[in-house]
Amino acid sequence: MAVRTDSGVDPAQRALDSVQRYPHDAISIARQVLASPSDAAARSTAERAIGLALRELNDLPGAIRHLRRAVRASADPRLRALARMSLGYVLASSGRTTAALRAVTLALPQLTGADAGRARMQRGVVLHYRGRFDEAVRDYDVAVSIAQRERDPLLEARARNNRGLLNAHLNAHLNGEPGPGPGSDDDLHRAAAIFNRLGLDLAAADARWNSGIAAGQRGDVAGALHCFTAVDAEYRRLAVPRPALLLDRFELLLSVPLIDEAVSVAGTAVTELSRLGMASDLAEALLAQARAALLAGDLATAAETAAAARSRFRRQGRRAWATLARHVELRAAYARGTRTTALLASMVRTADQLDATGWPGPALATRIEAARLAAGLGRQARAVELLRIAALARRRGTAPRRAQGWYALALRHRLAGDEARAVRALRRGLAVLDGHRASLGATELRAHSGAYGQELAAEGLDIVIGHGAPAQVLTWAERWRANALRMRRVSPPADPDLATALTELRMVSAALEDALLAGNPVQALRGSQARLEQRIRELTRGVDGGGELLAPPGAAQLAAALGDAVLLELVAHGERLRAVLVRDGQVTLHDLGSLADAVRTARLHRFGLRRLVTTGDGADARAGVAHTAGALDRQLFDPVRGQLADRPLVVVPIGELHAVAWSGLPSCAGRAVTVTPSATAWLRAADAPVTGSPRPPVLVAGPRLPAAETEVRQLTAVLPDARALTGAAATAERVTEALNGAGLAHIAAHGRFRADNPLFSTLELADGPLTAYELERLTSPPGCVVLSACDSGLAGVRPGDEVMGFTAVLLALGTRCLIATVLPVPADLTTSLMLELHRRMRAGDRPAVALAGAQQAFLAGAAGPVGPDGTAAGHPTGAGHATAAAFVCFGAG
């Protein structure tokens, strides 16, 4: 006899019905059935319920064990077939797709009606895993038809969910269209609605998560991020882990690309899926790790991990996935410098296989690199043919893929000697990427998306430098430099969840700082801080895009705004550092020597200055700083010294040269120097109105810094109409309210630069740290900002010389000028420098002129260090020289 409850409901069936809604309860009920006298049918159903519930909880070995017991427990053909059907599903999840296909195929002849529909759906899942997509879609179609005929809404929802997800993949990777796939969104939305009606919250969450995957695959990054954030909260509410979903998040991160974060997520996925024994997903996680390593330049890890993934895929019978892993191995070999006919043959063969198995994006990248290899080996005709095929991608697909197609066409034209047509193709590709970038609302996403245009911009730059056309070099250098700042800012909507998360982060960070100072345990606080930072990233990344893209300025436009100033824009060209100089409307191009030499010298100069500040003031240290400053000065300025004369200078750095302490170089000492991420950003800031704000200047002193209080108190004598916020009054809310619309703001506080995510760089205030994320929420930017805080002018530099940090945030808001530091600065040495700076600005000097004059006066002792009582404390030491050099004028000074 089957065990029955008083209500007459079979407990084994009730356990099975509870699997997706309450997997823990399902296991408990089923175990009660197995512990009591029951017939074979009930025992088989109970074992099946436990197996499927364990699958929901990611215990695949346990799930397989119980499902095999379910097959053995009953002689009834239908129950054995149902158990085999479920076993096939879990075997596929564990990577044993051959056994899975055999189990489901054995089950099919024994089933009719809705049971047959479930079996067809499960076979579709197995075929989906094996990369046999067309067959999988046919099985899903049959399952939906059977479900509708049999009036089985649960089966219909499951089949629609699977079909919608697969169609989204087919549309993005095979059909190549960037919009929604045929019925994919409709299937997923209808599946979620049915699951909701049935009270299956977890299944509904899975379907909505899949809608996020579909959005990401068609290029809607903001929509996908918004969806993932919402559904992730639902998973936490349901307390059901979904480690395999890390792979979906990885794909989205890589599509931006947020490479460092993708590397981290892939590593976490490998660890978690390995621990849970989820072999199928683990193989995909290893491949994800290899792909991320390839983009990060970790070629040894890319090759090794891709080989391990390929081996697993081959054992699992997943040939399409094995081919995808093979392409990573080959591209890693090419990046490591392998140039052989054998590699060329393998790359061509793999590209063809990728196309045939539904991976056109990787096929395109492999084919373009194969073409470059062929050209390098002297096989011109082969290269042209490979590029002809690759160029077809420019007509369809996601924006990055279309841009790669235009890149392939440009390379083909260059091989044919037609550089004019190559330039036109490169411009078309960059225009496609402009549209893609505009669709990303978040500053972080826009900055990281610069990686996609690097090859196109470098190719165009190489062409125009070869032509010796300085004005065209300037245009191309600007075309893909700091493009996030070329876009009109997208104001984030008022988001109470984000405001709450930022406030909580400030509280936790303040508590963490207190705990560190007191020597108390901080592990729990660090965990809370990391979770809040991830929450803030997710909330800000979901902002919808839009906004106008500013065109790069021409030489005439720049000349009119520069006046008697000279603009020097640095340009990386292969291993060489070049400079475009604009003076009096004339544009000239200069070779400044080795890029590696400039970067190495700049690092040494920066190291020496930091050493003066932090460890001592010996003669050797000062001599070392003077030596590196002279070497860097000669490399950067000797080729253009005659044109610089004694004019004001606007510098557009590249890469690590954004962190140079410019006034510490002999040619810049005493000169009005303004540093800007791009000529376009400089012109935009220069065009900003300079009319006085009706709001008073703002002076802020952060905590745990007595010198800041002194600095603000003495500045009130220079700026008597200023609003001073010190002590407990200097809270984040009051400071940001005061910054809105202020003509001038000065903040003296502890500063901290976060290289891992510059938007989490902070200024310490009374109630905790103020992040760059919070400054993004200002509605009316301050006109000029002075940050008397360590490292406050440092920026994280991403591909395309995209800058991230306080500088980028304030300039994007519309702030005209920012004076900040690129080094740590001793608080007790900055006061006199800041007093002299503000005196000169108050007298009418432009910020860059005022800063140069204040630095010279400080170094001459005329504005020597000031003690707490306001009296001079002597002439500046080596640390004083470093302090003066640390301050840089950004924007349009």
- pLDDT tens digit sequence for 701-740: 999 889 999 999 999 999 999 999 999 999 999 999 999 9
Can you give the pLDDT at residue 302? 96
What residues are paired with 868 via a beta bridge? none
Can you give the pLDDT at residue 4? 35
Best mean pLDDT range from 236-240, 670-674, 827-831 = 670-674
Say which residues have a Cβ less than 8 Å from residue 539's Cβ, sequence separation at least 6: 229, 495, 497, 498, 501
Radius of gyration over every alpha carbon of the chain, rounded to an integer in angstroms = 31
DSSP 145: H
Asked whether the CA dihedral 386, 392, 397, 403 is positive or negative, the reply is positive
In terms of Cβ atoms closer than 10 Å to its own Cβ (0-12, 13-18, 19+), residue 504 is middle
C-alpha dihedral, 609 to 614 to 617 to 622, nearest 10°: -10
Can you give the pLDDT at residue 447? 67
How do strand 673-675 and strand 649-652 relate by DSSP bridges?
parallel
Mean pLDDT calculated for residue range 120-147: 90
Can you give the pLDDT at residue 8? 47
SS (H, E, C) 469-533: CHHHHHHHHHHCCCHHHHECCCCCCCCHHHHHHHHHHHHHHHHHHHHHHHCCCCHHHHHHHHHHH
Q: pLDDT higher for 650 or 507?
A: 650
Mean pLDDT calculated for residue range 54-82: 89
Mean pLDDT calculated for residue range 250-265: 85
Say which residues have a Cβ less than 8 Å from residue 241's Cβ, sequence separation at least 6: 57, 58, 235
Does residue 3 contact residue 37 with C-beta atoms inside 8 Å? yes
CA distance 202 to 26: 14
**Range name among 265-269, 274-278, 881-885 with the lowest pLDDT average:** 274-278
Q: Provide the mean pLDDT of the chain.
A: 87
pLDDT exceeds 60 at position 605: yes
Give the DSSP H or E segment for 576: strand 576-583
Dump pLDDT digits (tens) for 70-116: 999 988 999 999 999 899 988 887 778 888 899 988 998 988 999 99
The residue with tokens 């364990």 is 54
Can you give the pLDDT at residue 546? 54
Asked whether the CA dihedral 727, 728, 731, 736 is positive or negative, the reply is negative
Can you give the pLDDT at residue 869? 46
CA distance 367 to 351: 6
**Residue 544 pLDDT level (bands cut at 50, 70, 90):** low
The one-letter amino acid code at 862 reads: A
- CB neighbourhood size of 452 (10 A): 27
How do strand 566-573 and strand 576-583 relate by DSSP bridges?
antiparallel
**pTM assigned to the model:** 0.78
pLDDT exceeds 60 at position 259: yes
pLDDT exceeds 90 at position 348: yes
Mean pLDDT calculated for residue range 465-488: 82
**Structure-block tokens of residue 593:** 């020597």
**Structure-block tokens of residue 20:** 């997706």
Does residue 700 contact residue 474 with C-beta atoms inside 8 Å? no
- CB neighbourhood size of 575 (10 A): 10
Can you give the pLDDT at residue 384? 96
Please state the separation of Cα 774 from the chain's center in Å: 19
Mean pLDDT calculated for residue range 625-638: 96
Does residue 490 contact residue 545 with C-beta atoms inside 8 Å? yes
What residues are paired with 586 via a beta bridge? 583
Q: pLDDT higher for 556 or 654?
A: 654
Mean pLDDT calculated for residue range 293-309: 95
**Residue 490 pLDDT level (bands cut at 50, 70, 90):** low
SS3 call for 762:
strand
Can you give the pLDDT at residue 874? 47
pLDDT exceeds 80 at position 178: no
397-431 burial string, b = 16+ CB within 10 Å, else e?
bbbbbbbbbbbbbbbbbbbeeebeebbebbbbbbe
SS3 call for 261:
helix
SS3 call for 791:
coil
